Structure 1
């Protein structure tokens, strides 16, 4: 039942909707029948416990992310656009005999990654010029 809804209120709303349509909610694995007083009580208790467990999980996750941020741990995939890739794309771009598709094939990147690296290289070059001025 904890997979059926994300909160106690939502689960109880689902049970009400099912009963309003003349049906009853039965959990065969848990042996719970919402057409009985005991079944409704058990669903309510399980819903409270499931919501409590979910809230604990969210709190622990947030605390873990905060600790990781304090330790400067990066989340997600490592960036595709590295300094080495930017240099290679810039060199290939400056070579009039090299095409974009050929560079992408050799470097194993997509065209969007090529152009993202090219923009990053051009930004770096502009920042270097501005810093020197």
Structure 2
């Protein structure tokens, strides 16, 4: 029996393309997930793997739909083989029932991991270049220097409640205490 598995990374993406191609490939059962491949828990994949019996074939649209890394991908396909199951990837044309398919599987897996490493390397280089230009990522600070000094003065006045300080600055008490201690000392 052919069992299909499809995955998209976010809820906004659609599984239609993958499921259509899996049906055309003769999959009688198709399991799906809408979660990042980096996530450990993929209930659809777990169901697909537990559904498989000796002689069945797990079919995916692309290699990266199945494994999080080359090591993970190889482990999953080896585990399938140990259970007497086959594996096919439609886009890469990999069929592990043949020696050529096994070789192709390992080559494409290595190339996929190489591509992810290149993307990660380019992202890090881009972030370094931005930092050199004075740009930092992330959320801007909730309080500027003037706001911090005002908060330090106000928090030392016992007649000014914390709620009033927070309202005036437009922040929560947790944010206030992240910047200024209860005694008015500076924290950040």
Q: State TM-score, norm by structure 1.
A: 0.72
Deviation at 1:53, TM superposition (A): 0.6
Deviates more, 1:54-63 or 1:20-29: 20-29
Q: 1 CA distance for matches of 2:125 and 2:135?
A: 14
Deviation at 1:28, TM superposition (A): 4.6
> CA 1:60–1:4 in 2, change beyond 3 Å: closer, same or farther?
same
Deviation at 1:60, TM superposition (A): 1.4
Contact 1:86–1:117, Cα closer than 8 Å, also in 2: yes
The equivalent of 2:64 in structure 1 is 2
The equivalent of 1:61 in structure 2 is 123
Q: 2 CA distance for matches of 1:118 and 1:28?
A: 58
The equivalent of 2:101 in structure 1 is 39
The equivalent of 1:128 in structure 2 is none
* Structure 1 unaligned blocks of 5 or more: 125-133
> CA 1:89–1:100 in 2, change beyond 3 Å: closer, same or farther?
same
Q: Pick the structure with greater CA Rg.
A: 1
Deviates more, 1:27-36 or 1:85-94: 27-36
Considering Cα pairs closer than 8 Å and 6+ residues apart, tell me whether 1 or 2 has the greater RCO. Answer: 1
Q: Alignment partner for residue 96 of structure 1, among 158, 163, 171?
A: 158
User: Following superposition of structure 1 onto structure 2, how do residues 1-133 of structure 1 map, counting pairs within 5 Å?
Assistant: 1-28=63-90, 30-119=92-181, 122-123=185-186
Contact 2:154–2:160, Cα closer than 8 Å, also in 1: yes
> CA 1:33–1:77 in 2, change beyond 3 Å: closer, same or farther?
same
* Structure 2 unaligned blocks of 5 or more: 1-62
Deviates more, 1:24-33 or 1:73-82: 24-33
Q: State TM-score, norm by structure 2.
A: 0.54
Quick check: which one's helix share is greater?
1
Contact 1:27–1:33, Cα closer than 8 Å, also in 2: yes
Q: 1 CA distance for matches of 2:131 and 2:66?
A: 33
Alignment coverage as a number of residue pairs: 123
Contact 1:24–1:35, Cα closer than 8 Å, also in 2: yes
